[in-house]
Every structure is written in C-alpha cells, then in structure tokens.
Amino acid sequence: MSVSSFPPEAVRDDFVPKEDFFDRDFARAEAEHLWPKVWQIACRLEEIPKIGDYVVYEILTDSIIVVRSGEGDAGVKAFHNACPHRGTLLAEGCGHTKQFVCPFHGWRFAVDGSNVEVVDRHDWGACLKEGDADLAAVQVGTWGGWVWINMDPECQPLDQFLEPMKSRCDKMEFEKLRFSWYKSTIVEANWKTVVEAFTEFYHVQTTHQQMLTYTKDYSTSRAMGRHGWMSYEFGTGLPIGRSARLEPLAEEPDFREYLYEYGKQFKNDLAAMQTERAFQSIQALRDLPADATPIEVLTKWGEGIYQRAIESGAGWPEGLTPEYMAETGFDWHVFPNTVFLHPAIEAVLWYRMRPYGDDPEKCYFDTWSLERYPPGDEPQVEREFHADWRDGNYPLIYTQDFENIPKVQKGLRSRGFKGGRTSPVQERAIANFHRRLRTFLQDSHADDDLGPEPKRDSTP
Ligand code: FES
Ligand SMILES: [Fe+2]
C-alpha cells in the first residue's frame, strides 16, 4: 500500500481518520517517509557540555550518536551509530569518550567522526577511499537548548522548519533552562495518541476536573504551519479563576485563594511549571489587602517572581511584552513529536513521543521538567526509565492521563468508531497535525513554505 492511500484531504478540522493510529501500513509509511526525513529532538545541550560527551538517540531502527567534538554549537556533531566496517554499534546510552572504538575489530574514530585507525589497513590497499572509513554524518542543529537531528541531507534548515514557533518563542530563552527531572516510560498507545493527549486542553474539564476550581479552562487552538498552538481566549497570563463549567459561588472568594490553590496543586500534582521561587511569591501575597483586585494580585505575583529570579541570579528574559506573550501562547506542538507548555517562562514542561519498534500501538514517552536556575545551582538529574509508568512515581496529573490514553487507543480500534470528531476550536491543532503528517508522508518538502496560519480549509 502506498502513501496515496492516506490522502491529506481525508482530514477535516472536525474529522481525523482512525487508521493513522494503528494501521501497520501507516506506521510503515512513517518509518519510511517521516522519521528519516524530519527534525527531531535528540538530547539537550546540557547533556554534552564537555568535548567527548555523547548521547545515543534511538528512533525505530536508527541509532544516532550526538557528540560534542568542539566548543559552541558548531562543535556538536551527529553520526549514524554504525561502524563503517561491518556495522557494529559504537556507543550506547550516554557517556564520555576520547575516541569511539569498535568492540568487534577495533576500528577507531575521533569524536569528529573521522577514522583514526583501521586495523591492518594495508589489506584494503586503494579500495578503501578517502572518507569510506569515517562515520556517516547526520544533520544537526540546536535551538532552545536542544540538539535536533535530521537524517535527510536535503532537509529544510532547522530554523525554517521550526517557524513560526521559533520567532514566537525565541525571547523565552529556553536555552537557559536546565532539567529539574527527567522520566521516560512506555505507553500502550500509538505515539500520536499520546502527542494528542497533550495537544489540547479540552480534556481538562473531565480528566483533570480537580483543576476547575482555579482554572478558566475553555481553550483555543490554532494551526501554525506544521505545528500547533494552544492557549486561552484572553491571550496572556494564566487562566486563573473558577471554571465557567462549575456553579458560580454565592460569594466570589478573595482572588488570592485561586492562586494559592493553583500553586498548591501544581506543586503536588504536577511537580513542574512552577519554580519554588514562584510558589514563594504566591505565599508573599498575604501582605496584600484582602480587597486587592485580581489585576493587582497578578501584578504583585508577577513582580515577586521576577524579583526572586533576578535576586537569585537565575535571571529573566528581556522584552517579554504582553503582546509577545499573547503570541507565544501556552502550549506548542512542534511537528511531529514534541509538545511543550511554557506559560510560567522560567519553568517549562516538555514532552517527546517516539514509536516503539514496529508495534504501532506502543510508544516511548519522555517527560522533561525544565527550570531556570542560578548558574551553579542546577541539579544533577538522573535520567529515570520505568517500563511501567506505575513504578515511576509520576504526580497525579500525569497518572490521570496515563490511565486514559490506553483506553483511547483501544476504543479507536472499534469497528463502530468512524474516526475522531475533533473540536474545530479547542482541538484544531490535532486535525492540522494529521493533515500535515499525511502531506509530509507524500512529500517531505510540500509544506516548507506554508504560511503560519493556514486558512480554515475544511470545517463544514
Ligand atoms: S565492525 Fe567495527 S571494526 Fe569491525
Ligand atoms: Fe492531561
């Protein structure tokens, strides 16, 4: 079956074909036409600070070594993890090395990928040409503190690929964030089922209903070229307040109560998207008079966070105007397999999803909490892997999602299920994702010049 069996036109803003989530031909099309041609996050720059530090990135049958061979971004290289002699893997996991030495027959490679020893080279005479014994290079780029790789030598430059997300987020200084924790697990669902569980806020009202007492949850979603953008209608700031879905209270509480509840629940149930400095800034609001208006409370809170960030030495990005913050939104899906939530600026939650072998109904799922620390205060973070998420000590909000996701995957296989009926308002980025994915499978360059906000082209 060819990719023409999966036309992009089959996707509407209110309809997503179900075969994308389990059809083995669709997964094979992704293996052939998506993963070898698309930019993807391989690791973070903080994982390879010194020359010789490396991380191995795995995507389906491909294994790629990302290594620091010199100073600065130009010193970051990526190579296929295969010995040019007879294919042996040269590295696993992550570590530090002066040279990569093949464990089979001992060929050696410098960290810039060049071969430094072929044992008994004279055997080959002239038939081993210049470069034949070097490691095969992979395209590499950096943005936001991440190292991105692309196996396609003809790929679009990373900076262009990331637009319009990049220009709307550059000022956030994600490159100054560091891991505060790092957990990976396996989820019993297609990688896109998991991407989409984090690409809409529509599910908050049911899956995370404990948040409604302090969250104005009605959200909005947009197509942004290949990527997706989620936010709230008022544009900027956090959606703090009582959800319109709940019965209004007879008497509106002091606005600070909403913030206390937000701070407490985020600390306990998410353990991300809030620094300790921000939590302290909520406690400090006690000094305000009880009749302070919401805007006064939010302003005081924002000032407290900013001052603590500056005083601690962590610093704060410059030029974050309300207009810029409205454009940067709340949550981005970066095509194809990463999602981040960034309204807290100095504490960002980032996810990555990858297919698991040739089983389209399983995936690897990485959760990265990132924070902005005073230089020298960054924690030494262990990369945790738990094959079963129940062993991973994930806070409540993640476990609520983990409970649901396999049910989504099982249900969408039902003979009685015709396809996803996505909300054209709150889940628009999901439909856009399927349309762009199907287009990419047909031609990886077809959307290279796509405008940032394509017209709503298929809502009935
Ligand atoms: S396979 Fe690497 S040296 Fe033989
Ligand atoms: Fe969720």
Please check whether residue 429 lies inside any domain of the structure.
yes
Do residues 238 and 350 both lie within one domain?
yes
H or E element, residue 108: strand 108-110
The whole-angstrom separation of Cα 86 and Cα 235 is 56
Please check whether residue 72 lies inside any domain of the structure.
yes
Give the pLDDT of residue 339. 98
Domain ranges, residue 105:
39-151
Strands (E), 298-358: 331-334, 338-341, 347-356
Give the pLDDT of residue 415. 96
DSSP secondary structure string, 373-440?
--TT------EEEESSGGGTT--HHHHHHHHHHHHHHHHTT-TT---B---TTTTHHHHHHHHHHHHH
Do residues 337 and 366 both lie within one domain?
yes
Q: Which atom of ligand 1 is nearest to the CA of 107?
A: 3
Whether 347 is in the pocket of ligand 1, judged by its Cβ within 6 Å, is no
Q: Which atom of ligand 1 is nearest to the CA of 119?
A: 3
For residue 84, give every residue at least 6 positions away whose Cβ sits within 8 Å of its Cβ, in sequence order, or none. Answer: 107, 115, 132, 133, 134, 135, 136
Count: domains in the chain: 2
Strands (E), 153-287: 177-187, 219-224, 227-232
Do residues 215 and 108 both lie within one domain?
no
This prediction's pTM: 0.96
Q: Which atom of ligand 1 is nearest to the CA of 84?
A: 2
For a mutational test of ligand 1's pocket, the pick from 83, 109, 134, i.e. the residue with the most ligand atoms closer than 8 A to its C-beta, is 83
For a mutational test of ligand 1's pocket, the pick from 80, 99, 102, i.e. the residue with the most ligand atoms closer than 8 A to its C-beta, is 102
In this structure, the residue with its CA closest to atom 3 of ligand 1 is: 105
Whether 121 is in the pocket of ligand 1, judged by its Cβ within 6 Å, is no
For residue 244, give every residue at least 6 positions away whose Cβ sits within 8 Å of its Cβ, in sequence order, or none. Answer: 216, 218
Residue 373 has which token pair? 């620390």
Give the pLDDT of residue 452. 58
Q: Which ligand is nearest to the CA of 341?
A: 2
Whether 102 is in the pocket of ligand 1, judged by its Cβ within 6 Å, is yes
In this structure, the residue with its CA closest to atom 1 of ligand 1 is: 86
Which CATH number is 137's domain given? 2.102.10.10
Provide the residue-wise pLDDT of the chain in tens; the chain has 460 residues.
Answer: 689 999 999 999 999 999 999 999 999 999 999 999 999 999 999 999 999 999 999 999 999 999 999 999 999 999 999 999 999 999 999 999 999 999 999 999 999 999 999 999 999 999 999 999 999 999 999 999 999 999 999 999 999 999 999 999 999 999 999 999 999 999 999 999 999 999 999 999 999 999 999 999 999 999 999 999 999 866 556 788 899 999 999 988 888 999 999 999 999 999 999 999 999 999 999 889 988 888 899 999 999 999 999 999 999 999 999 889 888 999 999 999 999 999 899 999 999 999 999 999 999 999 999 999 999 999 999 999 999 999 999 999 999 999 999 999 999 999 999 999 999 999 999 999 999 999 999 999 999 987 655 544 444 3
Whether 88 is in the pocket of ligand 1, judged by its Cβ within 6 Å, is yes
Do residues 348 and 404 both lie within one domain?
yes
Which CATH number is 216's domain given? 3.90.380
Whether 105 is in the pocket of ligand 1, judged by its Cβ within 6 Å, is yes
Please check whether residue 455 lies inside any domain of the structure.
no
Do residues 301 and 329 both lie within one domain?
yes
Give the pLDDT of residue 439. 97
- Taking CA atoms, 446 is separated from 155, 355, 398, 443, 458, in Å, by 12, 23, 35, 5, 19
Q: Which ligand is nearest to the CA of 208?
A: 2
For a mutational test of ligand 1's pocket, the pick from 101, 104, 109, 115, i.e. the residue with the most ligand atoms closer than 8 A to its C-beta, is 104
Do residues 371 and 411 both lie within one domain?
yes
